[in-house]
Amino acid sequence: MQFSSADKALYVKIVYYGPGISGKTTNLETLHRLTDPGGREPMVSLKTSGDRTLFFDLLPFDLGRLYGLDVRVKLYTVPGQVQYDTTRKQVLAGADSVVFVADSDPKRRDANVQMMRYLKNNLQSNGLDPETIPLIFQWNKRDLVGAMDPAEMSQQLNWRRLPELEAVATVGTGVIETFREITIATLEALAARAPGLSQRMDAATIREEVTQQFAALIPQQQPARAAEPVAVAAGGYVHQASTGAAAAGEDDPASGLDALLQHAVQANLAMSERLASGPDQDVVLARARRERKALARLVQVARVTRDLAALYKLALASVLGALELKTGSVLVGTGSQQPLKEVVASGRPCDPLNAVVAQGIGSVATGLLERGEPLLCHDIEGELLFGQPHEATRGLRAVLACPLDRSNRALLMLYSEQGSRDLEPDDLQFVGLVAGILDLAVSG
């Protein structure tokens, strides 16, 4: 929870948690469709080829004014697949409350119980108390033939005897009610423990106030239809950015996969925070979608080939496309004080900084490879050429150089031209993820 006295705003974080394909993302999609049919607020959805959430969904949600405060809710979901425990743990960080979405399919009984164990462990890892955090249970997929008895599900999962709601998220049944109840529970808990809020919020009347807000929020609750794929719209709504990353990554060694997911989750969480408040939502959304597709494609190809030349070509093409650049290359070391070997180049006949050679030292690109760490430079002539202009770098605006493996055998070079978009620190973060994928491919 974050409270801003300056703009009189209360920010809360609610996480939808549960096993894979239980309906967590469907809850958010249906909620978004019912409350924001015009797509004014963005929803970020990262999915695998099997239609399962890979990282998280985020839906910024403005609940309106409550006790003189602007209540702004951020809704997240986590991946339900067992192997993504690191991701779930990170998304739960700072959560104010949790909705546990359980699958009513009898075949998913064990998955429900296992995910409840993960939830308790993840909460404790983040310093959150499973015994006190606001928690609501949703028994989803009640339309299934042979659905489990709610009393049985309660006995298996609801150890705190907290509120339970039945739902069919695909058609909207129980979705609004679940969100309303977790919102009430969250605000009641915050009012009870935060002195600054208790002066503004009367815990005894929160239910009445929130219920009124929800009534105003949805003037006409029409029967909901099942969610349909929607393209990127003017409001910046990404319904289904489908990737194959998780499907391709399930056989990764645990340590490598966890490390890669950790960086990816952090990067995308940071991006989503900007989406929720920044003025450039459409631009950031479009870029994030391109980056996700590029990473997913690299993971897929790295699963089936160890042809480094092919991977380097794909990496360069993917990065240039994602960042909307034209000039770049992948270079490999030659073991001598000579220019690096160019595996692939784009935009110019040869890599500009590989063409700048000093006798007895090698090319400027050779020095960047030996440096062994990423570099973003906006003054090529001043910082890299010692103030001496060179024909090969004429017209360049900035350069990003990033080693592609821990052995410093290959170097990715990206250039922005005069008149084009500039390279930014966020580009380093994305290229670092690309390097991580290639490093796993090389070491594997």
Q: Where are the domains positioned within the chain?
A: 2-246, 305-443
For residues 11 and 74, the answer to whether their CB atoms sit within 8 Å is yes
pLDDT band at 226 (very low <50, low <70, confident <90, very high): very low
C-alpha dihedral (272, 276, 277, 280), degrees to nearest 10 = 70
3-class DSSP state of 351: coil
Question: What CATH fold (topology level) applies to the domain 305-443?
Answer: Beta-Lactamase (3.30.450)
Any alpha helices (H) in 250-348, and if so which ranges? 254-277, 281-304, 308-323
Q: Do domains 2-246 and 305-443 have the same CATH topology?
A: no
What is the distance between the alpha carbons of residues 302 and 308, in angstroms, rounded to a whole number?
A: 9
DSSP class of residue 421? Answer: P
Query: Chain centroid to CA 281: how far?
Result: 15
Average pLDDT, the chain: 77
- Give tens-digit pLDDT for 59-89: 777 777 666 777 788 888 887 776 667 778 8
What is the distance between the alpha carbons of residues 179 and 134, in angstroms, rounded to a whole number?
A: 12
What is the distance between the alpha carbons of residues 162 and 29, in angstroms, rounded to a whole number?
A: 25
Q: How many CB atoms lie within 10 A of CB 67?
A: 17
Q: Is the dihedral of CA 311, 312, 315, 317 positive or negative?
A: negative
Domain 2-246: give its CATH architecture.
3-Layer(aba) Sandwich (3.40)
Mean pLDDT of 409-420: 90
- Give tens-digit pLDDT for 285-328: 677 778 877 877 787 777 777 788 888 999 999 999 999 999 99
The pairing of strands 164-166 and 135-140 is parallel
* Identity at 121, one-letter amino acid code: N
What is the distance between the alpha carbons of residues 162 and 179, in angstroms, rounded to a whole number?
A: 15
Please report, rounded to a whole number, the percentage of residues in the chain having pLDDT higher than 90: 33
Residue whose C-alpha is closest to residue 232's, from 298, 293, 294, 300? 293
For residues 403 and 374, the answer to whether their CB atoms sit within 8 Å is yes
DSSP class of residue 444? Answer: -
DSSP class of residue 173? Answer: B
What is the distance between the alpha carbons of residues 40 and 421, in angstroms, rounded to a whole number?
A: 27
- Give tens-digit pLDDT for 161-202: 999 999 999 888 999 999 999 988 988 887 777 655 555 566
Asked if residue 50 has pLDDT above 70, the reply is no
Residue 247: predicted pLDDT: 32
For residues 306 and 441, the answer to whether their CB atoms sit within 8 Å is yes
The whole model's pTM is what? 0.57
Asked if residue 234 has pLDDT above 70, the reply is no
Tokens of 371: 């440096």
Least confident window among 21-25, 135-139, 394-398, 407-411: 407-411
